[in-house]
Amino acid sequence: MVFRKKHLLGLEELSAEEITTILDAAAGMKEIFSRPVKKVPALRGKTVCNLFFENSTRTRTSFELAAKNLSADVVNFNVATSSVVKGESLLDTARTIQSMAVDIVVIRHSCPGTPLLLSKRLNMSVVNAGDGAHAHPTQGLLDLFTMREHFGSIKDLRVAIVGDILHSRVARSNIFGLRKLGAHVTLVGPSTLVPREFKEMGCEIEYDLKRGISNANVINLLRIQLERQKKNLFPSIREYRLLYGLQEDRLSWASPDVLVMHPGPVNRGVEISQEIADGPHSVINEQVTNGIAVRMAVLYLVSGGGAGSGVQVGG
Ligand code: CP
């Protein structure tokens, strides 16, 4: 299938076929960056700007590596030392970047809808690297990619997403992607963090960890956002760990070949034990590696690389 989208704003906006096209392209990209010389000229002459208004380790670094693997030039915009601190608006900042002949802007912002706004006002391609609690599409895609690598297909997988669903852009992007590709999704956590409205997205809801991860093929643990504790959404970290923390003796509730996933950053000893995070079921580091392949595919496809001829990357 040909990919015709100029922007990547969220997985809600993509069809199952478009998601599959990105995952197929990412498989080719993973082969490229596993080579000793992990560079192809696919985006030579293009410029990618990482415009991050929120902190990031994984997403920003892997977008930079992905762009460099495709031979693009990369600019990392540093908000703290920019004219944003003098009061320059988001749109003026973005227009300024566009005027420097940037082709793709990768944006992370705390305000939901910021990537959509930029996509309407600018000519550059816009890639959402996380907007508030709304969407984190490349995280969703790299999670799907990792599941597909292990199980061959997403269809009919039983996936439990555990933790702070309410505030999680990762959960939303996973839910849209998983449901479109035919997985069964169960959301697990305290009722304050797992509202019943999520049933409308085609998910099951469980407040009991044992029932929630029973026979799961995949357990995707979300970071407990410690800053939320002040809002009385759960009584204490200790109680959260007792009720929802994934510890060795609880893994037997899931399928014997269960994959344990986490988007990072990880709170070891809270949502996941040290032993499981570093154990044989954990694919946390694979997720990070796959993130580069998925972001290479996204940058390539939004820049028109797949149009007309399917996905073919030279080199
Ligand atoms: N998973 C994720 O978005 O991590 P970063 O915040 O480090 O980019």
Residue pLDDT, tens place only, 269-305: 999 999 999 999 999 999 999 999 999 999 999 999 8
Say how many Å lie between the CA of residue 129 and the centre of ligand 1. 9
User: How far is CA 183 from each of CA 41, 136, 160, 203, 216, rounded to the nearest angstrom?
Assistant: 36, 19, 10, 10, 11
pLDDT in tens, 96-131: 999 999 999 999 999 999 999 999 999 999 999 999
Which pLDDT score, from 0 to 100, does residue 136 have? 98
Q: Is 246:272 a contact under the CB 8 Å cutoff?
A: yes
pLDDT in tens, 71-102: 999 999 989 999 999 999 999 999 999 999 99
Q: Which CATH number fits domain 137-287: 3.30.40.230, 3.40.50.300, 3.40.50.1370, 1.20.120.80?
A: 3.40.50.1370
Distance CA 154, CA 259 (A): 13
> Which atom of ligand 1 approaches the CA of 60 most closely?
8
Tell me the pLDDT band of 2, cut-offs 50, 70 and 90: confident
Distance CA 168, CA 102 (A): 30
The partner residues of 116 in beta bridges, in order of sequence, read none
Which pLDDT score, from 0 to 100, does residue 315 have? 42
The partner residues of 75 in beta bridges, in order of sequence, read 49
Which pLDDT score, from 0 to 100, does residue 313 have? 55
Same fold for the domain at 16-135+288-302 and the one at 137-287? yes
Which pLDDT score, from 0 to 100, does residue 33 have? 82
pLDDT in tens, 139-183: 999 999 999 999 999 999 999 999 999 999 999 999 999 999 999
Per-residue tokens: 25: 């392209």
Tell me the pLDDT band of 307, cut-offs 50, 70 and 90: low
Q: Which residues line ligand 1 (CB under 6 A)?
A: 56-59, 130, 136, 139, 263-265
pLDDT in tens, 10-39: 999 999 999 999 999 999 999 998 899 989
pLDDT in tens, 259-272: 999 999 999 999 99
Per-residue tokens: 146: 């990792």
Q: For residue 13, how many other CB atoms are within 10 A of its CB?
A: 14
Which pLDDT score, from 0 to 100, does residue 314 have? 46
Cβ burial, residue 101 (10 Å; 0-12/13-18/19+): exposed
3-state secondary structure of 219: strand
Tell me: pLDDT of 234 over 90.
no
What does the domain layout of the chain look like in residue ranges? 16-135+288-302, 137-287
* Secondary structure letter of residue 224 according to DSSP: P
Distance CA 77, CA 63 (A): 13
Q: What top-level class would CATH report for the domain 16-135+288-302?
A: alpha beta
Distance CA 28, CA 185 (A): 28
Tell me: pLDDT of 306 over 90.
no
Say how many Å lie between the CA of residue 264 and the centre of ligand 1. 6
- Which of 53, 59, 139 is the pocket-test mutation for ligand 1 (most atoms within 8 Å of CB)? 59
Which pLDDT score, from 0 to 100, does residue 34 have? 83
Which pLDDT score, from 0 to 100, does residue 53 have? 96
Tell me the pLDDT band of 226, cut-offs 50, 70 and 90: confident
Tell me the pLDDT band of 224, cut-offs 50, 70 and 90: confident
Say how many Å lie between the CA of residue 275 and the centre of ligand 1. 22
Tell me: pLDDT of 310 over 50.
no
